[in-house]
Amino acid sequence: MEVTPPVPAPLLQRYGRRWVLQHCLGALGLEARLEASRQRAAARIEGALADHEGFLQPLERVQAISAADFVHRYVRRGRPVILEGAAKAWGAAGWSPEFLAEAHGHEPIILMKMAGAEMVLRDQGATHSTLGEALAGLGDGNRAYCRFLTFLERSPERLAEIDRAWLGARKGPLSGPSSLQLFIGGANTDTALHCAIGNNLFVQLHGEKTWILYAPSWAPVLRPPMTRAPYFFSDFDPLVPDYEAMPACRHLRGYRFTLKPGDVLYNPPLWWHRVQNPTVSIGLGYRWYSLGSALRASLAMSALSVLSANPPVWVVKRKQLDFTKVFTDS
């Protein structure tokens, strides 16, 4: 079933225009007025959803698909999909927390909080640690959830265990620079609902990770606050939904699924995602940027990302896509 909002496109376009206008002109003393205008546009969309049921359905899984077919069917169309078992034969499929602690425990890392508004608060309790110390405390919940780790780029031994040629062949033409980021979390750790402009091939290497995805066009219902950051978040939690606070979220349509070791998820630009680790989990994010795919996903959210001021997009580029530094101003 289709997972985009079943409302007229002009309503979504009106909301997008008001969102961009608020981003650009809010600092001129018009913030409250422009925010009210954006929320009125969101209310019209919510009204049009009144007769439509919400649901979460499984995401499509495919096997043995060529790189060309994958790019044509999914990347160019901005459709998420699971490439089932595609990374099972990689050397990285044998990684475990114990192995990484022994081989890379000395690596300095930054542990961040990633619940709702914490995503845009600089110096919001980020902790400097080492990978070994963090992995020894995996039972401490989100305080030990290692996100966006980039040390793999400096480790020839680990890079040799990742099929980078396979990943690169699935970027598609006219794609920007890519980055590799490691995620290691204990059981029951999670990250709040958010999205960003990059493409992501997420490789599940160890344990399981449960995802909930919503299309970019659900932004008016998810009511993202105006942060002027190059990424977006919502206070709605689909795992513990508060329909009294956000009643229109009853109408959300999306996907819910769990990645197993060796699975690869394609998460297109600007798709909202909420993730939870039911077990100790190790995953690898391969991110790249393509203006064309971002514009197809959402013209308004692409413009907001490019025009971001908290921090500006050029700062993100200067930090070489190291999101621990972006989130913490390190």
Say whether 232 sits in a helix, a strand or coil: strand
CATH at 125: 2.60.120.650
Residue 143 lies in a domain: yes
* Bigger pLDDT: 327 vs 197: 197
* Any domain includes 38: no
Q: 3-state DSSP call for residue 257?
A: strand
Identify which has the larger pLDDT, 186 or 325: 186
Q: How many CB atoms lie within 10 A of CB 328?
A: 18
Which residues have C-beta within 8 Å of that of residue 145, sequence separation ≥ 6?
111, 114, 183, 184, 185, 186, 189, 191, 277
In this prediction, residue 272 carries a pLDDT of 98
Q: Is the pLDDT of residue 328 over 60?
A: no
Strand partners, 110: 128
pLDDT score of 175: 82
Query: pLDDT tens, 233-272?
Result: 999 999 999 999 999 999 999 999 999 999 999 999 999 9
pLDDT at 49 over 90: yes
**Which range is most confident: 117-121, 139-143, 183-187, 316-320?**
183-187
In a domain, 70, yes or no: yes
Residue 302 is predicted with a pLDDT of 97
In a domain, 85, yes or no: yes
Binned at pLDDT 50, 70 and 90, residue 120 comes out as low
313 band by pLDDT with thresholds 50, 70 and 90:
confident
Give bridge partners of residue 238 from the DSSP assignment: none
Angle between helices 299-306 and 9-25 (to 10 degrees): 10
Domain hosting residue 266, numbered range = 55-328
Q: What is the DSSP letter of 74?
A: I
Give a yes or no: residue 219 inside a domain: yes
Query: Alpha carbon of 314 to those of 32, 230, 310, 311: distances in Å?
Result: 28, 10, 11, 8
Return the closest-CA partner of residue 209 out of 277, 123, 262, 115: 277
The tens digit of pLDDT for each residue in 276-312 reads 999 999 999 999 999 999 999 999 999 999 999 888 8
Q: Is the pLDDT of residue 122 over 70?
A: no
Residue 14 lies in a domain: no
Using pLDDT thresholds of 50, 70 and 90, give the confidence band for residue 327.
Answer: low
pLDDT per residue over 125-145, tens digit each?
678 899 999 999 888 888 889
Instruction: Return the pLDDT at 318.
Output: 57
pLDDT at 323: 60
Overall domain count for the chain: 1
Q: How far apart are CA 216 and CA 119, in angstroms?
A: 18
Average pLDDT score over residue span 153-176: 92
- Residue closest to 80 by CA, chosen among 259, 305, 260, 304: 259
In a domain, 50, yes or no: no
* Domain assignment of residue 281, yes or no: yes
